[in-house]
Amino acid sequence: MLLDADDSQLVLIDYQEKLMPAIFEGKEVLANAMLLAKMARMMQVPVWATEQNPSRLGQNVAELRALCDRTLAKTSFSAAHEGLLDLLRPPMPRQQGGNARSLPKHLQKPPAPQEPERPAIIIAGCEAHVCLMQTALDLLEEEMEVWVVTDACSSRSERNRDAAFDRLAASGAELVTTEMVAFEWIRDCQHPAFKQMLELVK
């Protein structure tokens, strides 16, 4: 199964100014996150971002932050239940018809969660074994389709990063690279954005 730009949303986790200097291969990881965000803007893919405790760790790198549709501040390591799910899923439709209060509580069915209009959640970030992994696992628990961009993720140590990838793959996440995402979104060298994408990749 290939990624489709029209079905995709991009989530960028905690590329924060005070954190990135401590991240293994941090410059390359940030460069790949920038490429993903620029590609997403070109392909009209929504870009969401998070910042872990920004009062202590600072905001995301300004150039990356400027490419995001919205940035959520959080204190939980997983962003899933700090507003991210609300961004990824459309609002619940209003129920038509009878008054739910006419039924006893034990007979009232909770509304089923809405499926995302763009079901492919492409996610990358830091640290891979903490905020990135916990967010991705929570999204998988919500039965979302999760694609982890490995070369745009890292931790302070290579061992922690790799352990996160092993666990995510075993849990059902698809592991991909930045160029895989870019070329799958474009699909064809006749695409109007192909030359612009090549310039970003090179």
Q: How many domains does the chain have?
A: 1
3-state secondary structure of 6: helix
* 94 in a structural domain: no
Q: How many CA atoms lie within 13 A of 42 on its CB side?
A: 21
Is 33 in contact with 124 (CB distance < 8 Å)? yes
The pLDDT tens digits for 22-71 are 999 999 999 999 999 999 999 999 999 999 999 999 999 999 999 999 99
Among residues 83, 85, 82, 39, which one has the least CA distance to residue 64?
A: 39
Q: Both tokens of residue 180?
A: 């895989």
> Tell me, what CATH number does 78's domain have?
3.40.50.850
* 170 in a structural domain: yes
Domain that holds residue 47: 5-89+115-201
The pLDDT tens digits for 6-27 are 999 999 999 999 999 999 999 9
156 backbone dihedrals φ, ψ, rounded to 5°: -70, -25
* 190 in a structural domain: yes
* 44 in a structural domain: yes
* 19 in a structural domain: yes
* 101 in a structural domain: no
pTM of the model: 0.88
* 96 in a structural domain: no
* 110 in a structural domain: no
